[in-house]
Structure 1
Amino acid sequence: MIIKDITEDTLVKKYTNTYELSILIGVDSFDYMVLDGQQQVLALKTFGLQNETGSHLAAVEAAFQAEKFLHQPFRNIRVGFVSGRNTLLPQRLYDENENEAYLRQITELLPGEAARADALPVLSLYNVYAAALDEITLARRLFPGCRIFHITTALLEGLRHLAVQQERRSIFAHLKDGMLFVVLFEGKELLFANAFPYQAAKDFIYFILLVFQQFGLQPESQTLHLSGQLLPDSEIYREALRYIRNLEFVPAPAFFKFGPRISQEPHYLYFGLLSLSLCT
């Protein structure tokens, strides 16, 4: 099911080999964005996956097969996966041979899973996460030559550009496919990053206030920056406003450019895709 489909007139299909493609795959979603070499967003499309066969992989492949535009060659392709099972390691302590050991401290690897790691050199961190091997195989088959990232890697890349503009601690909450990603920066320094599953507004505010309490943040004065699957008239937003005085939706990082159609969209809704395009 197509949820959003926006294409600028400046997109030229025969020039896709000069464009960059970012794809974000979640439990219930398949989203993609196309940029040119000047960071101009040319196309944005979001799908709700139709999981009629009970197979997530089949639903992803069906979305790909129906979207003929994605069969074109692209200059760069990034694929991001949404999950909450990851841990961050300081670069100085990281050993690429110990990924499974790092993960076992927080979770069990399931059959058919492997431990992967993304480098975050600017933050001097590695993001180690559990990845389903069949999903990785599918991504590489559908998008040969693609680079694969975890959503937390993408969010940290995007949010650090916003955090350095703040004069004090800045806390961010991103919502995607039933997961709440909470990130706290103090200037350039990352203080906290974690993911929580949620089902209702009370779950959302519980986890947010838990982080506020842990770091001594004051709900009366600390701004909570929001992005992802959230609308101002939602129950989650109204519940958050009961406890936290200042709520703000995040802007897109300044170096992105938007045409007349995509400019009309709230950019915070697609912050995950924008951030994914920054991964290297």
Structure 2
Amino acid sequence: MNTINTHFRLSYQIQDEAFKLSQAGNCNLYVAISSRAMRLAVADVERNKFVALEDYELITVFTPLQIAEQLRLIADQSPILQEQRWLDVRISVSNQFFTLVPETLFDPTHQEDYLRLHSNLDPQQHVILYNRTFGLDAVNIFAIDGVIYRMAQSVFPERTVQFTHQTSSLIKSVLHQTDRNAGRVMHLFVERNYVTVLVVDENGLQFCNVFHYLSPEDFIYFVIFVMQEQKMNPEQETITAWGDITPDSSLFNMLKKYIRQVKFGKRPADVGYSYKFDDLFDHRYFELFSLHFCE
């Protein structure tokens, strides 16, 4: 008897009428997992175009075990997650358990030691993984809760799942899109209660961290703190924002109060989008679309 309760809702769904699951063998599946949402997108590799998207909001979910349980329940109802014939399955995880290490210093046998310097790990709970951060001579070492890791693999028993940390895909896309001659630039990826802050200049990535906030005041504190540390002037710099932030939100109003120039980012370039995506804000689902470039 199934005693697990459903604590999610499908908040958005897009599917191009030309896409059929029978075409999965020509497509990649991307899944973004966080404490607040599970999102998936399908990219037709032959046409280099996104053709489907599903956004599931997690409600009253507080533990990794509950997230894993909701993943199973979502997979039970989503034909896209039940399909096994994808070319690639890429899953990103959003959490604060990560660290970037220069590739020249990286020793795989010590990945747990690197991560312990920045995170309070539980060897019984976490699985430690790493991937090379595209566009940097660095390795991103990260942890994923074991119950989520095992559940994600069980959803795709016939595929090899590529796991990555959300910061890796964000860094890849931001470096790909940023004009390196524009000077030092700050980018924000906003989630509910978390914000990833990236600072890029002509030499590449200079700063990356994920902050937990509970209020707009917390949110702006971290933004201003990083600007001060990076010697950036709120009166002169332009901040680019992506993610779960809208022009009428309290977070955006707080940014406008303290930062002279704030703009929303665009979707990743060099990939197409079905016309069904036209109703979306360009700055939404950046973390999901960015997985397309994490080969």
> Residue 135 of structure 1 corresponds to which residue in structure 2?
148
Change in Cα spacing, 1:116 to 1:254, as seen in structure 2 (3 Å) is: same
Change in Cα spacing, 1:268 to 1:121, as seen in structure 2 (3 Å) is: closer
Bigger shift: residues 200-209 or 255-264: 255-264
Bigger shift: residues 258-267 or 57-66: 258-267
The 3-state SS of whatever aligns with 2:18 is coil
CA contact (8 A) 2:71 2:152 kept: no
User: CA offset at residue 49 of structure 1?
Assistant: 2.3
CA contact (8 A) 2:31 2:288 kept: yes
CA contact (8 A) 2:194 2:212 kept: yes
Q: State the Cα RMSD in Å.
A: 1.6
Where in structure 2 are the equivalents of 1:1-280 lying within 5 Å? 1-37=9-45, 38-50=47-59, 55-72=66-83, 73-110=85-122, 111-143=124-156, 144-164=159-179, 166-280=181-295
TM-score (norm 2): 0.91
User: CA offset at residue 234 of structure 1?
Assistant: 0.4
Point out where structure 1 has 5 or more consecutive residues left out of the alignment: none
User: CA offset at residue 253 of structure 1?
Assistant: 2.2
Q: Work out the CA distance in 2 between the residues paired with 1:163 and 1:224.
A: 12
CA contact (8 A) 1:29 1:48 kept: yes
Q: Work out the CA distance in 1 between the residues paired with 2:227 and 2:218.
A: 14
Change in Cα spacing, 1:177 to 1:82, as seen in structure 2 (3 Å) is: farther
The 3-state SS of whatever aligns with 2:222 is helix
RCO comparison, higher one (Cα < 8 Å, 6+):
1
User: CA offset at residue 137 of structure 1?
Assistant: 1.1
The 3-state SS of whatever aligns with 1:123 is coil
CA contact (8 A) 1:176 1:228 kept: yes
Q: Match for 1:13: what amino acid? A: L
User: CA offset at residue 50 of structure 1?
Assistant: 4.5
Change in Cα spacing, 1:242 to 1:188, as seen in structure 2 (3 Å) is: same
CA contact (8 A) 1:160 1:188 kept: no
User: CA offset at residue 51 of structure 1?
Assistant: 5.1
Q: Work out the CA distance in 2 between the residues paired with 1:254 and 1:69.
A: 25
**How many pairs are equivalent?**
280
Bigger shift: residues 83-92 or 108-117: 108-117
Q: Work out the CA distance in 2 between the residues paired with 1:17 and 1:188.
A: 39
CA contact (8 A) 2:32 2:93 kept: yes
CA contact (8 A) 1:19 1:34 kept: yes
Point out where structure 2 has 5 or more consecutive residues left out of the alignment: 1-8
Q: Match for 2:80: what amino acid? A: F
User: CA offset at residue 121 of structure 1?
Assistant: 4.5
CA contact (8 A) 2:177 2:269 kept: no
The 3-state SS of whatever aligns with 2:284 is helix
The 3-state SS of whatever aligns with 2:267 is coil
CA contact (8 A) 2:190 2:244 kept: yes
Change in Cα spacing, 1:203 to 1:33, as seen in structure 2 (3 Å) is: same
Q: Work out the CA distance in 2 between the residues paired with 1:202 and 1:166.
A: 32
